[in-house]
Amino acid sequence: MANSKIIIVEGAQGAGKTTITDYLRNVIKHTNLYRLSGVSDSSITGLEKSSKMYYDLLDYIKNLENLDINLLFDRTFFSEENYCRLGKKEYSFTKVYNDLLDKFSKLDFNIYYLTLYLEDESLYEQRLKREGKVEPAYAKFSAENSIKQQREYLKMAEEISQKYSNIMVYNIENGKDIELTKKELENILL
């Protein structure tokens, strides 16, 4: 098995993914950071677009297996599945998601799946005050939406840990002092 890492950071809007992925990018040597926003088409044609995008992404990752680099993702196909499970899209992504996840688990990397969450869900109200940002209708910032997303991400993390022993799944509480979160991540990833 390769020594290179794939680190997926998922979590609800406002959970702190940008802060955490920026930090990890700077402390883990030879790491490329990718920020994916998914496909904003929530109609049935969005399924085709999303499927193609994420299968192409897996092919791209597969081609990097023998290089000495780490790949860090701020969202991937897990977000697409989360939004679909919550009824934010007009289609089901589950069949594609399960296939992608199976292929993903077989990549020759040390694979880490990190879910950021806030134990005190009321913190989402403060964290989501984002002046001037325009989001697609299915991704409107609201504490209520983030709480629903968080609960679904935690379920998904549990499902992954039960099904794939080679994917190291961690739920990281990110409502505490940021220095404590950084230390926890260093203990896991360095």
The predicted pLDDT at position 141 comes to 72
**For residue 111, how far is the Cα from the chain centroid?**
12
5-11 and 110-117 beta bridge pairing: parallel
How big is the chain, counted in residues? 190
Pair type for strands 110-117 and 31-35? unpaired
| pLDDT for the residue 138 | 47
Per DSSP, what are the bridge partners of residue 31? 70
Distance (Å, whole) CA 39 – CA 79: 10
Per-residue pLDDT tens over the stretch 16-66:
999 999 999 999 999 999 999 888 899 999 999 999 999 999 999 999 999
Global pTM reads 0.93
Which parts of the chain have pLDDT scores under 70? 1-2, 130-140
pLDDT value at residue 131: 58
Residue 169, φ and ψ in degrees, nearest 5: -105, 130
| Cβ atoms of 170 and 114 closer than 8 Å | yes
Fold that domain 5-189 belongs to in CATH: Rossmann fold (3.40.50)
**Strand-pair partners of 73:** 8, 34
Assess contact for 125 and 147: CB atoms under 8 A.
no
For residue 80, what pLDDT is reported? 96
The confidence score (pLDDT) of residue 71 equals: 98
3-state secondary structure of 11: strand
